[in-house]
């Protein structure tokens, strides 16, 4: 074999690819499911936390700040392993999928809260005063006046962070979640050939490049319009 | 909304010819930010349909006084009665009372994510409980009153400063307040846009609105104000008709201030 043929055989072996494509296809579905769930629940969690924080009840805020700092600081892999191997010791057994979902939700929730909060703080005080002076209550002001502005301002950093965290779904491979990378590494060890990993890389690109573009689109959509 | 007005009848300070009903009655108002005493016992009343004009050097507490009137700032002592109800009472229904007190800010403070019309309808819908259609009608009428009926779908960043301030006035007017507070409404405007806003205020005055105005537009005060109040370092130094305060001030502090402003 020429070096070129060896390269093609190692990374683009047609037989291996055809054989394992269905498995990797299943992995694609799992990855997408996991990613979508994480984005929804993570951002929802961040939003919920920032609403709570806005009420500025000191003990509640202290808890939120600690939560946010911890989950921003911990590498997600550590948390995944800790939950997956630790919880059964207290008779809580979660599937690998559930553990990865929970971990990434907490991490994204922490980052999203921090990003939203920066947005809330950057809305001018005059907005609160104007709204309150017309008789809107605290919660009404928060929901109709402050958060719409805060959220809009935070779209770019939030999109970036969301994409970065969602890519961590690949960590599921270490706890047996049948996502793309897991399927590909299994296929790789059975076939003794790296081609499934090439397919996995392409599959990740096919999923996340559109997400990056969607993020950019959202950013320009909301890029705004300052009063 | 507030059909019968049960104002507390009270005798007002001397000045002859003033109507006896005070829409806004401030008594012995004290306010401090920490150790910094900003208001040191303010007594002031604004009668029905009256325009009271406040002048005074920077830091004298004018904005703080206005913000106390709707309790955006919490006074330490004293009472404020608006339209017969004490807004400084611990159990005052602030969100209800605040609808009776319109407030216009130096920096407009329009909601940048909402159109002019939506800026006006927000409180109509959420606070006054108007239906979508009613709120829209009221908003369009209010925008028409400030000469901006053609801008109802514009966002604040598509409007000039003068137009933004007029939308802000419409936002307050739409709630049919009993008194309007203005905190330097023209100070952030380019000189050529000041007139538009002052015209709207003049028009409101002629329409019978009760107004408390902090501003440096002395010419406007000459024409439109019933009373001018000079404040300095947290107290009212003197008060009287525009003619008296501007032409024959009694106190040296007033003379000094007017001397500086004249240049
Ligand atoms: N939120 C605050 N915290 C602490 N001090 C404040 C606060 N707001 C105002 N002050 C202080 O209170 C004093 C009165 O302020 P205020 O804004 O009422 O003055 P003003 O008469 O409106 O002045 P200007 O003409 O500059 O608007 C000033 O010394 C100011 O620094
Ligand atoms: Mg001021």
Per-residue pLDDT of chain B (263 residues; tens, 9 = 90+): 444 444 444 444 444 444 557 999 999 999 999 999 999 999 999 999 999 999 999 999 999 999 999 999 999 999 999 999 999 999 999 999 999 999 999 999 999 999 999 999 999 999 999 999 999 999 999 999 999 999 999 999 999 999 999 999 999 999 999 999 999 999 999 999 999 999 999 999 999 999 999 999 999 999 999 999 999 999 999 999 999 999 999 999 999 999 887 75
Please name the helix (run of DSSP H) or strand (run of DSSP E) that holds residue B228, with its range, or none. strand B227-232
| Residue B137 distance to chain A (closest CA, Å) | 18
Give one word for B235, left, alpha or beta, with left for phi > 0 and alpha for psi -120 to 50.
beta
Domains contained in chain A, number: 1
d(CA A162, CA A22): 28
Count the neighbouring beta carbons within 10 Å of the beta carbon of residue B252: 9
Asked if A104 and A168 count as a contact pair (C-beta separation under 8 A), the reply is yes
Asked if A126 and A189 count as a contact pair (C-beta separation under 8 A), the reply is no
DSSP-derived 3-state class of residue B207: coil
User: What's the residue count for chain A?
Assistant: 227
pLDDT value of residue B7:
42
| Residue B156 distance to chain A (closest CA, Å) | 5
Residues of A in contact with B156 (CB under 8 A): 227
Per the domain annotation, does A226 fall within a domain?
no
Q: Does B131 touch chain A (CB under 8 A)?
A: no
Asked if B70 and B180 count as a contact pair (C-beta separation under 8 A), the reply is no
Q: Does B172 touch chain A (CB under 8 A)?
A: yes
d(CA B251, CA A129): 35
Q: Nearest-CA residue of chain B relative to A146? A: B111
Tell me whether residues A148 and B113 touch, CB distance under 8 A. yes
DSSP-derived 3-state class of residue B23: strand
* Ligand 1, CB cutoff 6 Å, lining residues: B 33, 36, 38, 56, 58-64
- Which is the closest atom of ligand 1 to the Cα of B64? 18
Q: Does B98 touch chain A (CB under 8 A)?
A: yes
Tell me whether residues B164 and A129 touch, CB distance under 8 A. no
Q: What is the distance, to the nearest Å, from the Cα of residue B92 to the centroid of all Cα atoms in its chain?
A: 20
Per the domain annotation, does A227 fall within a domain?
no
Nearest CA to ligand 1 atom 7: B33
- How far, in Å, from the CA of B73 to the mean position of ligand 1? 11
Mark the residues whose beta carbon lies below 5 A from ion ligand 2.
B 63
Per the domain annotation, does A89 fall within a domain?
yes
pLDDT value of residue A225:
52
Residue-level pLDDT, tens digit, chain A, 227 residues: 899 999 999 999 999 999 999 999 999 999 999 999 999 999 999 999 999 999 999 999 999 999 999 999 999 999 999 999 999 999 999 999 999 999 999 999 999 999 999 999 999 999 999 999 999 999 999 999 999 999 988 988 898 899 999 999 999 999 999 999 999 999 999 999 999 999 999 999 999 899 889 888 887 877 655 43
Per the domain annotation, does A92 fall within a domain?
yes
Least Cα distance to A128 among A114, A140, A113, A115 occurs for A140
Instruction: Give residues 196 to 255 of B whose Cβ lies within 8 Å of A.
Output: none
Per the domain annotation, does A12 fall within a domain?
yes
Distances, alpha carbon A77 to alpha carbons A33, A65, A106, B248, in Å: 19, 22, 13, 79
CATH code at A188?
Answer: 1.10.3720.10
Quote the domain boundaries for residue A186: 3-221
Closest partner CB to B112 (pick from A135, A137, A226): A226
pLDDT value of residue B10:
43
| Residue A138 distance to chain B (closest CA, Å) | 10
- Which is the closest atom of ligand 1 to the Cα of B57? 25
Per the domain annotation, does A156 fall within a domain?
yes
Asked if B222 and B197 count as a contact pair (C-beta separation under 8 A), the reply is no
Tell me whether residues B122 and A145 touch, CB distance under 8 A. yes
Per the domain annotation, does A104 fall within a domain?
yes
| Residue A57 distance to chain B (closest CA, Å) | 19
Closest partner CB to B95 (pick from A124, A135, A224): A135
- Model confidence pLDDT, tens digit, residues B153-195: 999 999 999 999 999 999 999 999 999 999 999 999 999 999 9
Nearest ligand by distance to the CA of B58:
1
Give one word for B7, left, alpha or beta, with left for phi > 0 and alpha for psi -120 to 50.
beta
Pocket of ligand 1, candidates B29, B37, B42, B63: which has the most ligand atoms within 8 Å of its Cβ, to mutate? B63
Residues of B in contact with A227 (CB under 8 A): 108, 110-112, 155-157, 164
């Amino acid at each position: 074999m020429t070096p070129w043929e060896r390269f093609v055989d190692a990374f683009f072996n047609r037989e291996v690819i055809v054989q394992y494509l269905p498995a990797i296809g299943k992995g694609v579905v799992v990855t997408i499911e996991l990613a979508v769930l994480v984005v929804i629940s993570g951002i929802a969690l961040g939003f919920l936390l920032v609403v709570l924080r806005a009420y500025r009840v000191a003990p509640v805020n202290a808890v939120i700040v600690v939560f946010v700092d911890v989950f921003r600081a911990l590498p997600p892999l550590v948390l995944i392993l800790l939950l997956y191997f630790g919880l059964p010791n207290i008779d809580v057994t979660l599937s690998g999928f559930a553990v990865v979902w929970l971990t990434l939700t907490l991490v994204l929730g922490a980052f999203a809260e921090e990003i939203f909060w920066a947005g809330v703080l950057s809305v001018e005080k005059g907005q609160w005063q104007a709204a309150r002076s017309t008789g809107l209550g605290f919660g009404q002001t928060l929901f109709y006046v402050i958060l719409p502005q805060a959220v809009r301002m935070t779209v770019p950093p939030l999109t970036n962070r969301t994409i970065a965290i969602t890519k961590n779904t690949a960590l599921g491979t270490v706890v047996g979640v049948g996502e793309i990378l897991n399927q590909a590494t299994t296929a790789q060890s059975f076939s003794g050939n790296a081609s499934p990993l090439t397919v996995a890389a392409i599959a990740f690109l096919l999923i996340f490049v559109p997400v990056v573009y969607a993020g950019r689109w959202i950013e320009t959509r909301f890029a705004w319009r300052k009063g | 909304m507030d059909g019968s007005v049960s104002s507390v009848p009270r005798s007002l300070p001397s000045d002859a010819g003033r109507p006896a009903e005070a829409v806004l009655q401030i008594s012995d108002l004290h306010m401090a930010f920490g150790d910094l005493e900003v208001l040191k016992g303010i007594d002031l009343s604004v009668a029905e349909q009256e325009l009271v004009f406040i002048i005074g050097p920077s830091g004298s507490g004018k904005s703080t006084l206005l913000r106390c009137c709707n309790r955006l700032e919490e006074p330490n002592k004293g009472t404020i009665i608006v339209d017969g109800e004490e807004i400084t009472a611990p159990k005052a229904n602030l969100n209800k009372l605040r609808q009776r007190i319109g407030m216009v800010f130096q920096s407009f403070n329009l909601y940048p994510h909402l159109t002019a019309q939506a800026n006006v309808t927000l409180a109509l819908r959420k606070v006054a409980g108007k239906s979508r259609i009613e709120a829209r009608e009221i908003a369009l009428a209010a925008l028409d009153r400030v000469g901006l009926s053609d801008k109802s779908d514009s966002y604040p960043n598509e409007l000039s400063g003068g137009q933004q301030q007029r939308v802000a006035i419409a936002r307050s007017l739409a709630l049919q307040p009993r008194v309007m507070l203005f905190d330097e409404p023209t100070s952030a405007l380019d000189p050529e846009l000041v007139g538009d806003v002052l015209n709207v205020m003049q028009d409101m005055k002629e329409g019978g609105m009760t107004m408390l105005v902090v501003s440096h537009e002395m010419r406007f005060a000459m024409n439109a104000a019933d009373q001018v109040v000079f404040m300095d370092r947290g107290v009212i130094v003197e008060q009287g008709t525009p003619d008296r305060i501007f032409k024959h001030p009694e106190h040296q502090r007033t003379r000094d201030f007017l001397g500086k402003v004249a240049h």
